[in-house]
Amino acid sequence: MSEAQLVEALTAPHKLQYTYKRSVGPVMGRFFTALRDEGKILGVRREDGSVMCPPKEYDPDTAAAISEMVEVGPGGEVVSWAWVSEPRAKQPCDRPFAYALIKLDGADTPLLHAIDCGREDAIRTGMRVTAKLADERVGHITDIRCFEPEA
Amino acid sequence: MADEKGPVEIVQTPVELDYTYTAGQAATRFLKGVEQGKFLGQRCPVDGLVYVASRGSSPKHGVPTGPDTVEVSDKGTLISFSIVRIPSANLSVEPPFAAISVLLDGADSHLMHVLDECPLEEVRMGMRVEAVWLPKDQWTASMQNVTHFRPTGEPDAPFDSYKDHL
């Protein structure tokens, strides 16, 4: 085909969406229900007495069913983080923020969430942060709007 | 508050990806034809088969189709179908409906569309169908110009006339 016969190719926006729904089960169900209705963050106690948050239905070492829920947070410590300098539309903050693993007070495992602290040099591993709840809570992890540096 | 809503059992976790789709030469030619109310195909230079819409190459012989376009009819024969009964958020048509493969007159490849104006129990292979176009002033370079296909009322095409295209 010669150059002269080439047409200018059409382009169009194409949005690919998967509208997944996840069944949360009894333990995560209590986590989300307490978050929505009471603004509390719950962990689950393992057989050895340690606490997992986010909670799971089974002990990862012994596979025993576990269901004793304990309140953790809302404060905690940054275990690890990654800076997001150009947030995308569906990400938790509309300005640059950090995705971070946060070990909440009373928990022994970290929770992945967003830290809204404005600037990259305002975050460091080991810093104290606290959960900010969303004004309208629906039973979703976004009921914690974000974490912020502790005052 | 807790009593009214009941425990949380389901969370929605939608995944969304935004692309810019580029049609390329072959599909652009096809869509520019659709913009003028025509179905344009391209011929394989080896066996002469007409592909609508052409992907730009012959799947049988691995050579470019064209360069000339071939206009085919907007009438054709329904050669396969499936009744869709399961709703999905991305469907623009309310189930149940018939998703059909149409072999347009003059084409050797089929295209997928929706059959309407026909009871589902009457949908059958060999049925003669035609494209229903939007009003001309609403045409764009999009297959959405064709709202659906409908039966023409002609006698069914004999099986032998399309058996090589199944």
Instruction: Confirm whether B125 is domain-assigned.
Output: yes
Show which of B72, B96, B114 is a domain's final residue: B72
> Model confidence at A2, in pLDDT bands (50, 70, 90)?
low
A16 close contact with B: CB closer than 8 A:
yes
> In this model, does residue B40 exceed pLDDT 50?
yes
B96: exposed, middle or buried (C-beta count within 10 Å: 0-12, 13-18, 19+)? Answer: exposed
Q: How many domains does chain B have?
A: 2
All residues of chain B having their beta carbon less than 8 Å from the beta carbon of residue A142 are: none
Quote the domain boundaries for residue B158.
73-166
Residue B162 and residue B88 share a domain: yes
d(CA B136, CA B38): 12
Closest partner residue to B7 (CB to CB) among A10, A22, A29 is A29
The pLDDT value given to residue B90:
72
3-state helix, strand, coil in chain A (%, to 5): 15, 40, 45
Check if the beta carbon of residue B131 is closer than 8 Å to that of residue B150.
no
Instruction: Confirm whether B141 is domain-assigned.
Output: yes
Instruction: Confirm whether B27 is domain-assigned.
Output: yes
d(CA A70, CA A56): 13
> Could you report the per-residue pLDDT of B133-165, keeping only the tens digit for each?
999 999 999 999 999 999 999 999 999 999 999
> Model confidence at B80, in pLDDT bands (50, 70, 90)?
very high
> Could you report the per-residue pLDDT of A4-61, keeping only the tens digit for each?
578 899 999 998 888 899 999 999 999 999 999 999 999 999 999 999 999 999 999 9
> Model confidence at B5, in pLDDT bands (50, 70, 90)?
confident
Instruction: Confirm whether B2 is domain-assigned.
Output: no
Residue B144 and residue B96 share a domain: yes
What letter represents residue B134's amino acid?
Answer: L
> Could you report the per-residue pLDDT of A52-77, keeping only the tens digit for each?
999 999 999 999 999 999 999 999 99
Please count the other Cβ atoms lying within 10 Å of the Cβ belonging to residue A44.
26
Instruction: Confirm whether B41 is domain-assigned.
Output: yes
**Considering chain A, what is the average pLDDT of its residues?**
94
A94: exposed, middle or buried (C-beta count within 10 Å: 0-12, 13-18, 19+)? Answer: exposed
Residue B109 and residue B54 share a domain: no
Instruction: Confirm whether B163 is domain-assigned.
Output: yes
Instruction: Confirm whether B17 is domain-assigned.
Output: no
| Pairwise CB contact (< 8 Å): B28 & A8 | yes
**Considering chain B, what is the average pLDDT of its residues?**
93
A18 close contact with B: CB closer than 8 A:
yes
d(CA A109, CA A105): 10
Show which of B56, B72, B88 is a domain's final residue: B72
Eight-class DSSP state of B11: E
| Pairwise CB contact (< 8 Å): B23 & A30 | no
Residue B32 and residue B84 share a domain: no
By C-alpha distance, the chain A residue nearest B90 is: A17
Instruction: Confirm whether B104 is domain-assigned.
Output: yes
Residue B163 and residue B89 share a domain: yes
Percent of chain A with pLDDT over 90: 88
B15 close contact with A: CB closer than 8 A:
yes
Rounded to two decimals, the ipTM of the complex is: 0.79
> Could you report the per-residue pLDDT of A78-100, keeping only the tens digit for each?
999 999 999 988 899 999 999 99
Residue B34 and residue B98 share a domain: no
Show which of B31, B47, B72 is a domain's final residue: B72
Residue B90 and residue B44 share a domain: no
In the predicted model, what is the mean pLDDT of residues B78-97? 90
> In this model, does residue B73 exceed pLDDT 80?
yes
| Pairwise CB contact (< 8 Å): B90 & A17 | yes
In the predicted model, what is the mean pLDDT of residues B33-48? 96
